[in-house]
A = this chain, B = another copy of it.
Amino acid sequence: MAGNGNAGKAKTVSGKTATSKAVTGKTGAGTAGEAMAGGSTLEIRSDGTGNADILEAAAACFMEQGFSATSIDDVARRLGATKGRIYHYYASKTDLFFDVHREGMDRLFAAVETASAMPGTAGSRLARMLKAHALASMENHTYIAVVVQGVHMHRLAATTPAQRRTLDAVMDMRRRYERLFRSMLDTALEDGSAISESPSLTIKAALGAINWMSIWYRPKAGETAADREALAEQIVRPLRFGFEPRRG
């Protein structure tokens, strides 16, 4: 029963001893301990028609009220639906949250990896990545707000058994993401296109400055892509050059 090849419809489940719907590892026979890129341990429906709306509504609710203050009924209400619809796709509120988180991370990865493949010195590529990160954070700010919240989810959802696994996968995703920036900085340090006394903290400072946008940034009415572009540029500039005047 568990592990049949039916890849058409898999409810997002985490733990539980239930009989029919407990499907923890789905895509093929995943050996425990795998950490594939992009595909976490939890899974959604294949065609994202129904879920996209749910994800969108959930992301908005989680952003506005936070995880625990958001009720499933809140999400359903925003959808113009009821709990039944949500629980048809997700086994628990936590699973829903993690799926929003995963979606957000996916979008970040896509944006930043594209930027990292651009030509130029490692230093300028790092700047591009930071700008891409800022831009993606603005364009998907509801999802990214959830991603930010997810950092705190260390002990919170550690209740269910295999739910812990999905959380580990999410945490791993975060680490890999930060490593993307870190390794680019290391390259830049080697070829002299960047300087840093403590690369780890330099990255944390830069990413922190941008992630903090999820606190204060809200899209203005009539905001254009050019506006966001300018904003991203202006938030990255002080990180590149600092506020100390340059002489020479």
Contacts and interface: CB of A to CB of B under 8 A. Distances in A.
Interface stretch (A18-26, A105-113, A198-206): A198-206
A239 B243 contact: yes
Contact of A238 (B69, B193, B206): B206
A231 interface: yes
A123 to B, nearest CB: 6
A25 to B, nearest CB: 29
Interface string A229-248: 00100110111111111111
A123 B123 CA distance: 25
B194 A156 contact: no
Nearest to A196: B243
Interface residues on A, range: 35 or more
A155 B194 CA distance: 42
Quick one: copies of this chain in the complex? 2
A205 B209 contact: yes
Contact of A64 (B155, B208, B244): B155
A34 interface: no
B208 A238 contact: no
Given A66-B152, A68-B68, A211-B212, A245 B194 contact: yes
A180 interface: no
A213 interface: yes
B215 A151 contact: yes
A44 interface: no
A242 B238 contact: yes
A10 interface: no
Contacts of A194: 243-245
Interface in A165-216: 185, 188, 192-198, 201-202, 204-213, 215-216
A114 interface: no
18 contacts: A67-B69, A123-B245, A126-B243, A127-B244, A151-B216, A195-B244, A201-B234, A201-B235, A204-B216, A205-B238, A207-B212, A208-B209, A208-B210, A211-B215, A239-B239, A239-B242, A239-B243, A240-B243
